Amino acid sequence: MTDLLEVKDLWVRFPTRRGIFDAVRGISFGLGRERLGIVGESGSGKSMTGRAILRLIRPPGQVEAAHIKLDGENLLDKSEAQMRKVRGERISMVMQDPKFSLNPVMTVGDQIMEAYRLHSRAGRAEARKRALEMLEAVMIRDPERVMRAYPHEMSGGMGQRIMIAMMLIPDPELLIADEPTSALDVSVQGQVLQIMDRLVKERGMGLIFISHDLNLVAQFCDRVLIMYSGRVVETCDAHRLHEATHPYTRGLLNSLPRLDAPRKRLEVLKRDPAWAEAPSVGPEA
């Protein structure tokens, strides 16, 4: 199976007053048409990895890699204009909070239609038809009304579904979802994930699912990368996450309170500086 996305030796650096800070330190991974989870704590570099793939890291931040290949084409060789064709059309990204990623002064319909027309040169009527279909695909009732509404009239769950509709309408090959459900209530979370899961499967897309929620990733993804201070410390099949061996992964799993296994005290993660120093585990580890 040829990989949809291949990342080799990716570094993300930010210059600071105290020297260079490495946010991502030499990670490599491949992705087929599957659901890959990236988990880690805040500051582990998981979001930076997602942004680096789309080349969304702005100066003074620097991205360096042997290559980031999408279908064999190195994204790092592309000009900014070529990159704009990749973003949205071939790789889309869903961010954490719909409140900050939707345009507040544009109706939902106009925003979705804009996303479609930017990449397809379709007429207004066709874009409108596609936008309505897409809203139905993300289970929005009364899409006609939602098309005319503004983002502030939407609930968080609806906003996130609209974001997903907007990101999927140009039919990308790869979707990067950065904490797509952490701003949502648990019951809405399930709905949004189900919709995303179905669409990704139906369209044969690849998915990178960035999250801090280990249980969610274990249940939702096929494969998981665990990141710690800019490195990948462990990769495993998602359904084997609970048998993970790295002490960091074990520590994270054990620090979660569990309904089915009550304890007087929660286990506290003891950090070992060696975790941050050890090299990243490679794609085939």
Partner 1 sequence: MSALKFENLNVWFGDGRDRVNAVRNASFEVQQGESFGLVGESGSGKSTIMRALTGLVPTWSGRMEVNGKPLGTKRDRAFYKTVQMVFQDPYASLHPRHSVDHVLSETLHLHGFRDIEKRIERLLEDVGLGPSFRFRYPHQLSGGQRQRVAIARALAPEPSILLLDEPTSALDVSVQAEILNLLTDLRDEHDLTFLMVSHDLAVVGHMCSRIAVMKDGEIVEVMSVEDMRALSPEHPYTQHLLKASLGYFRDEEEPGGEPLTGTA
Give min distance, CB of 169 to partner 1, in A.
Answer: 22
The sign of the torsion formed by the CA atoms of 115, 163, 238, 55 equals positive
| String of contacts with partner 1 for each residue 233-252, x by CB under 8 A | ----xxx-----------xx
- With CB under 8 A as the contact rule, the residue among 9, 89, 126, 197 that binds partner 1 is 197
- With CB under 8 A as the contact rule, the residue among 265, 273, 274, 284 that binds partner 1 is 265
Q: At what angle do helices 186-202 and 156-168 cross, to 10 degrees?
A: 10
Q: Which residues make beta-bridge pairs with 16?
A: 19
Q: Is 273 an interacting residue with respect to partner 1 (CB under 8 A)?
A: no
Task: Starting at the earlier edge strand, list the strands of the sheet with 91-94.
Answer: 91-94, 174-178, 206-211, 35-39, 223-228, 231-237
Which residues, including other chains, have CB under 8 Å from residue 77's CB and lie 6 or more apart?
none
d(CA 227, CA 43): 10
Between 1 and 125, name the residue whose CB sits nearer to partner 1: 1
- With CB under 8 A as the contact rule, the residue among 70, 193, 226, 233 that binds partner 1 is 193
Between 128 and 156, name the residue whose CB sits nearer to partner 1: 156
Q: Which residues make beta-bridge pairs with 37?
A: 209, 224
- The upper half-sphere exposure of residue 173, i.e. CA atoms within 13 Å in the direction of its Cβ, equals 13
User: How is residue 127 written in tokens?
Assistant: 């874009």
| String of contacts with partner 1 for each residue 207-226, x by CB under 8 A | -----x-xxx--xx-xx---
Interface region with partner 1, contact rule CB under 8 A, candidates 16-24, 95-103, 106-114, 197-205: 197-205
User: How is residue 252 written in tokens?
Assistant: 């994270």
Q: Is 259 an interacting residue with respect to partner 1 (CB under 8 A)?
A: yes
Contact residues: partner 1, CB under 8 A: 1-2, 4, 32-35, 41-42, 156, 185-190, 193-194, 197-198, 201, 204, 212, 214-216, 219-220, 222-223, 237-239, 251-252, 255-260, 262-269
